[in-house]
């Protein structure tokens, strides 16, 4: 809401910095909150239900902005977009601050017995609930854990193409040969693809968690689809505007691939400090990818932006390689621990160790959810 008050580059840069600073805690905080309330098998659908709102924003955000742009009285038209959406965000934030409990054990809408059940329910995650002590040994373990850096690489690879699906979407669609209104309503199918793939992927990962490695399968399929879409953007001729538009819509599968990687943190990283640090590293990669992405749109290449499409293809390919590497690492580690358990080398109580805030590397009874 303070953006309309900015009148120069310094003001807008400072405003955007503060916005990024406060916004940076939203997704990591949600991942932590979800791991406190839901079992590992319940988490994918809940997370995708949260994340699919990006698809709703893609479907209707542009049209709302287009409609607001036709306001002809009062302030300059562009200011209304920031004031309206900013006011909604503040109102929702206040409601969350007042009504959203920090822990199941402090939830006012639960009875004492229900709070105990809520805590006991998530104990099967072998992660405990929350620990108020910041543990440096878990920081160092996160720094040495290959999962941390594979997630970091995945986040960069996922977000390099992100600007093409957010900030530059209207410019890209217009470059295909559509008019101004078309650039808005032709984003609706892309948003619908994102919305539906997130919900369907979340349902599959939750419903069939015990039958096959559903989370990894969803991530691999989503990323492979993005590679196909970005490959078509690189290879199709400029005259094939509908083919290139469909290729762009296919890239909206990326939301499923990235959001599912967040369940890796919520379900497969134990130790409260380590979970926070790993989440911070992943979202640092998220920010780096979003910094790199816009730089690939070179003004001298307009309206073709061939380098940007190549960068999308490279980003998705790097991400798929990281997903496969992470999957193989966790799969082999599960097999190793299973063998040790059969040989009687592991006799630990995984739930008790989780409640003692042990990490997934220290708690040998822990098994990764694939």
Which CATH number fits the domain that encloses residue 246? 1.20.1250.20
| 145 in a structural domain | yes
Q: Is the pLDDT of residue 127 over 70?
A: no
| 264 in a structural domain | yes
| 174 in a structural domain | yes
Residue labelled with tokens 């293809």? 313
Higher per-residue pLDDT: 348 or 118: 118
pLDDT in tens, 13-61: 898 888 888 888 888 888 878 878 888 888 888 888 888 888 888 777 7
Question: Percentage helix, strand, coil, to 5, in the chain?
Answer: 75, 0, 25
Give me the half-sphere count of Cα atoms (radius 13 Å) on the Cβ side of residue 158. 30
Give me the half-sphere count of Cα atoms (radius 13 Å) on the Cβ side of residue 163. 21
pLDDT in tens, 228-283: 999 999 999 888 889 999 999 999 998 888 888 888 888 888 888 898 899 889 98
pLDDT in tens, 282-331: 989 988 998 998 899 888 887 888 898 999 999 999 999 999 999 999 99
| 284 in a structural domain | yes
Provide the 10 A C-beta neighbour count for residue 22.
9
Residue 284 structural domain: 23-68+136-355
Q: Please, are residues 229 and 253 in contact by the beta-carbon 8 Å criterion?
A: yes
| 102 in a structural domain | no
Residue labelled with tokens 């993005």? 226
| 329 in a structural domain | yes
| 360 in a structural domain | no
- CA separation for the pair 24, 264 (Å, rounded): 19
Torsion of CA 301, 305, 310, 312, to 10 degrees: 140
| 220 in a structural domain | yes
Exposure letters 223-239 (e unless 16+ CB within 10 A, then b)? bbbbbbbbbbbeebeee
- CA separation for the pair 235, 110 (Å, rounded): 56
């Amino acid at each position: 809401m303070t953006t309309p008050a900015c009148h120069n580059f310094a003001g807008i840069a400072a405003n955007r910095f503060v916005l990024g600073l406060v916004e940076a805690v939203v997704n990591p905080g949600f991942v932590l909150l979800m791991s406190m309330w839901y079992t590992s098998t319940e988490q994918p659908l809940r997370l995708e239900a949260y994340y699919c709102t990006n698809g709703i924003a893609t479907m209707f955000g542009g049209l709302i902005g287009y409609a607001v742009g036709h306001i002809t009285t009062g302030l300059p038209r562009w200011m209304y977009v920031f004031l309206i959406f900013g006011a909604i965000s503040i109102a929702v934030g206040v409601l969350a601050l007042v009504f959203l409990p920090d822990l199941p054990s402090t939830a006012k809408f639960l009875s004492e017995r229900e709070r105990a059940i809520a805590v006991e329910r998530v104990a099967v995650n072998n992660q405990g609930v929350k620990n108020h002590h910041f543990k440096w040994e878990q920081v160092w373990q996160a720094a040495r854990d290959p999962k941390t850096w594979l997630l970091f690489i995945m986040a960069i690879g996922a977000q390099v193409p992100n600007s093409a699906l957010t900030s530059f979407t209207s410019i890209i669609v217009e470059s295909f040969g559509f008019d101004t209104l078309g650039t808005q309503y032709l984003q609706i199918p892309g948003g619908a693809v994102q919305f539906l793939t997130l919900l369907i992927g979340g349902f599959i990962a939750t419903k069939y968690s015990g039958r096959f490695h559903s989370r990894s399968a969803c991530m691999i399929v989503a990323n492979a689809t993005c590679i196909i879409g970005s490959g078509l953007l690189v290879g199709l001729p400029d005259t094939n505007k509908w083919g290139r538009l469909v290729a762009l819509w296919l890239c909206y599968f990326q939301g499923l691939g990235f959001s599912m990687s967040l369940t890796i943190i919520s379900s497969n990283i134990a130790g409260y400090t380590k979970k926070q640090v790993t989440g911070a590293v992943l979202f640092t990669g998220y920010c780096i990818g979003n910094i790199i992405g816009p730089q690939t749109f070179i003004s001298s290449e307009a309206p073709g932006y061939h380098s940007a499409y190549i960068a999308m293809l490279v980003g998705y390919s790097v991400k798929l390689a990281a997903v496969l590497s992470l999957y193989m690492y966790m799969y082999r580690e599960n097999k190793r621990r299973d063998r040790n358990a059969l040989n009687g080398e592991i006799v630990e109580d995984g739930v008790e160790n989780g409640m003692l805030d042990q990490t997934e590397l220290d708690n040998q009874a822990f098994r990764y959810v694939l």
